[in-house]
Amino acid sequence: MRPLLDICICTCKRPEQLRVALRSLAELELPADASVTVTVVDNDPENQEGQAVVESLVVDSPFPILYALEERRGIPFARNRCIQEAQAKGADYLVFIDDDEWVARDWLVRLFRYSQQLGGNSVVNGSVVRQLPDSVPAYYVNFFSRRKRQTGDRLTYCATNNVLIPMKMIREFSLSFDERDPFGGGEDVLFFSELNAKGGDIVHCVEAKVFEAVPISRANLRWLSRRKYSAGITLAKQKLLSGRSRPGIFLSAIFQLLTAGVLCLFGLVFGGIRLGSRPWLRFCRSVGMASGVFGARSDFYRVVDC
């Protein structure tokens, strides 16, 4: 029997982006040695806009598309619903992309092929190519760039924006997304950090590409600052889960905060916002990490930006 891949998309109040994502999936080159299904989990119980999108595309889809409504608002609830739906289907692999992305035609073939080359027992993380409006200053563009990786690089964690997960790893390690901070973000980082800590491999495949159009609403210092603060809280949680002491994490955060603050002042004085922005964002992350040690929460993802 051919293995079953369930491609899961969590969506909320983004019907047009979801439509683009599903249309790109309809154009996929499919693996010859696997079956494919798609699950759309709508996390918008008030409007349920994703349902109409799915219904308009399912007739011509080359594979089944399941629509599921998750009434509890928050990204971790939607992602855990994806796990439940994949389990109900008997899927062998769970594949996540975001609802504001679209995929390269050979994306799934490359992702699955590389997984099989590794023996089918590793998480495979693909590349995300971000596209920003031409009006965005060059120094902001760099803030959306990820560290360049090579195929075969081992990771200690990744995100759910382009990843293939063997379902047997989820069962073996009893994994789920942490639901205690539903709008804070970072539960995917904690999920994969736990997977890796329990002995699971996470390997990068640069050839498996998806694309994301970054909205202009994110290309500003206010959005980036809030994002870095939220990321700092997640970083504190990661360190606590790895066994680091609260005092040690806090002192490290304070040292980084002070260092970043000094560099930010120098940058602003001698280069304006262009040179001051990066240390300022490190400052925000350090504040988040210091706060996260004492249980601070973020509501960064409460409002959906389109």
Q: Are 76 and 188 contacting, i.e. CB atoms less than 8 angstroms apart?
A: no
How much of the chain exceeds pLDDT 70, in percent?
100
pLDDT surpasses 70 at 20:
yes
pTM of the predicted model as reported, rounded to 2 decimal places: 0.94
Q: CA-CA distance, 237 to 240, in Å (whole number)? A: 5
Strands (E), the chain: 4-11, 35-42, 65-69, 93-98, 101-103, 123-131, 162-166, 202-213
Q: Is 154 helix (H, G, I), strand (E, B) or coil?
A: strand
Q: CA-CA distance, 235 to 262, in Å (whole number)? A: 22
pLDDT digits (tens, 9 = 90+) for 194-207: 999 999 999 999 99
Q: CA-CA distance, 199 to 178, in Å (whole number)? A: 19
How much is the average pLDDT of 5-28? Answer: 98
pLDDT digits (tens, 9 = 90+) for 154-203: 999 999 999 999 999 999 999 999 999 999 999 999 999 999 999 999 99
For residue 240, give both structure tokens. Answer: 């606590």
Q: What is the separation of C-alpha 298 from the centre of its chain, rounded to a whole number of angstroms?
A: 16
pLDDT surpasses 70 at 233:
yes
Domain 4-218 has CATH 3.90.550.10: yes
pLDDT surpasses 70 at 215:
yes
For residue 243, give both structure tokens. Answer: 């066994």
Q: At what angle do helices 273-293 and 221-241 cross, to 10 degrees?
A: 40
Identify the pLDDT of residue 148: 87
